[in-house]
């Protein structure tokens, strides 16, 4: 049977609208296993023995010239033998991703720059500026509470003015969750909160300053990516249901696009917001590679239950290991293809409509939203 939707998705050149770099150095077993999981590598419970580990052994091993389902030891040995540069090149090339929008604000390991990442894949790099990082850099270099708001804004403006920057991002989900007063804080409130934060240090997690950061994003005018749902143990999951943002979305309607990232297990809640707010978009990145191709179709089916087809984007949210840049793409392609092809086969969807959904979600929605060229040259020399 010819399966034109599968073929279209297999051939699609993806825009990965939210991902991270890959680790430059070689990884020993502990390092690699730590990067495989949002948890940690625990004694007796290898991250290889999980859905993502199974997916890596199934889909990534052949790209290292190993049989499908290769054992972890063989996998790691071959990975070490080839060396990080060759491994990354193989996975990034196989991902079939044309455009990488890279969040450069989280890098506990030594990572590729956006340009290095894209170059290994033969693609184009853009950058996402993480606003918490900008605020914390302002605090780190020393600023008075009265000057905090202005200096944060100036630093954010400078950051987004760099070539290749197409969006900002917030990890408010990790810092306070979304159950925030939706209103823009007053100058006095910000100064007071800044005084407290600057006196005590630490990462930016004050609810007033997180609100201020979100409203600063509105002023910047670029699309805002918001971590939503799934992440590491630093998340309080019940506080990151994106529908807690409803009042804020009402207040900011008509300003900037808001991109809900990851979303699982709140993909239906995110879909609801995308269906009723013009400015809301979503993806199920991060989730896609953690559940693997065996389950990505089910997640996408929930994410698409009521989502307008111009509102779903692709992202991998891959971090650290290029396996995830590949797996995210593979899970997206196979899950969406299975979903759409079944509807075409049941005559619930026409083939031309299915192919439009493929084109939109795999890249056109992101290109339109971020103002990317249809086939863009590598932007000159940005570095995180």
Name the residues that contact its own copies, by CB under 8 A.
37-40, 42, 44-45, 47, 49-52, 54-55, 58, 68-69, 230, 232-233, 235-238, 241, 243-244, 246-247, 249-250, 264-265, 268-269, 272, 275-278, 287, 290-295, 298-299, 301, 304-311, 343, 346-350, 353, 356, 368
Q: What are the strands of the beta sheet with 14-19, ordered from one edge?
A: 14-19, 97-103, 124-130, 165-170, 224-228, 258-262, 280-282
State phi, psi for 304 to the nearest 5 degrees: -100, 5
How distant is the alpha carbon of residue 43 from its chain centre? Answer: 29
Residue 350 C-beta: closest distance to its own copies, Å:
4
The C-alpha atoms of residue 98 and residue 373 are separated, in whole angstroms, by 12
Please say whether the beta carbons of 282 and 270 come within 8 A. Answer: yes
- Helix spans in 312-350 (H): 322-345
Judging by beta carbons within 10 Å of its beta carbon (0-12, 13-18, 19+), is residue 210 exposed, middle or buried?
Answer: buried
CB atoms within 10 A of CB 148: 22
Residue 9 C-beta: closest distance to its own copies, Å:
17
Residue 238 C-beta: closest distance to its own copies, Å:
5
CA angle in degrees (0–180, nearest 5) for 347-365-107: 125
Residue-by-residue DSSP string for 179-235: ----SPPPHHHHHHHHHHHHHH-SSS--HHHHHHHHHHHHHH-S-EEEEES--STT-
Helix axes 29-36 and 72-82, enclosed angle (nearest 10):
110
Please say whether the beta carbons of 293 and 331 come within 8 A. Answer: yes
DSSP lists the bridge partners of residue 126 as 101
Lookup: tokens for 139? 């605090």
The C-alpha atoms of residue 123 and residue 92 are separated, in whole angstroms, by 9
The C-alpha atoms of residue 305 and residue 303 are separated, in whole angstroms, by 6
Residue-by-residue DSSP string for 8-77: HHHH--EEEEEE--BB-S---HHHHHHHH-SS--BTTB-TTSSHHHHHIIIIIGGGGT--TT--HHHHHH
DSSP lists the bridge partners of residue 170 as 226
């Amino acid at each position: 049977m010819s399966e034109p939707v599968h073929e279209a998705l297999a051939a699609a050149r993806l825009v990965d609208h939210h991902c991270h770099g890959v680790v430059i150095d070689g990884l020993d077993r502990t390092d690699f296993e730590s990067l495989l999981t949002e948890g940690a590598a625990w004694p007796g419970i290898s991250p290889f023995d999980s859905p993502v580990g199974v997916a890596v052994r199934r889909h990534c091993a052949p790209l290292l010239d190993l049989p499908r389902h290769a054992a972890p030891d063989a996998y790691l040995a071959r990975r070490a033998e080839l060396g990080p540069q060759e491994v990354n090149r193989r996975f990034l090339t196989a991902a079939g991703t044309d455009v990488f929008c890279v969040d450069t604000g989280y890098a506990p390991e030594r990572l590729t720059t956006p340009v290095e990442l894209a170059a290994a894949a033969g693609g184009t790099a853009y950058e996402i500026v993480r606003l918490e990082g900008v605020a914390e850099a302002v605090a780190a270099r020393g600023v008075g509470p009265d000057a905090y708001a202005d200096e944060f804004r100036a630093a954010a403006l400078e950051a987004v003015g760099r070539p290749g920057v197409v969006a900002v991002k917030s990890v408010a989900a990790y810092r306070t969750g979304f159950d925030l007063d939706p209103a823009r804080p007053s100058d006095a409130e910000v100064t007071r909160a800044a005084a407290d934060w600057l006196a005590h240090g630490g990462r930016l997690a004050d609810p007033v300053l997180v609100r201020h950061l979100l409203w600063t994003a509105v002023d910047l005018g670029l699309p805002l990516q918001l971590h939503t749902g799934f992440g590491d143990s630093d998340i309080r999951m019940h506080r990151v249901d994106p529908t807690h943002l409803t009042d804020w979305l009402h207040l900011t309607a008509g300003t900037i696009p808001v991109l809900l990232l990851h979303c699982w297990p709140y993909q239906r809640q995110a879909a609801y917001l995308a269906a009723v707010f013009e400015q809301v978009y979503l993806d199920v990145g991060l989730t896609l590679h953690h559940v693997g191709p065996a389950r990505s179709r089910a997640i996408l089916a929930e994410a698409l239950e009521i989502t307008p087809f111009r509102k779903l984007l692709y992202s991998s949210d891959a971090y650290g290991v290029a396996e995830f840049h590949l797996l995210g793409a593979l899970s997206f392609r196979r899950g969406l293809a299975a979903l759409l092809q079944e509807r075409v086969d049941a005559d619930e969807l026409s083939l031309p409509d299915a192919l439009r959904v493929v084109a939109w979600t795999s890249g056109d929605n992101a290109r339109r939203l971020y103002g990317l060229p249809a086939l863009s040259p590598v932007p000159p020399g940005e570095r995180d």
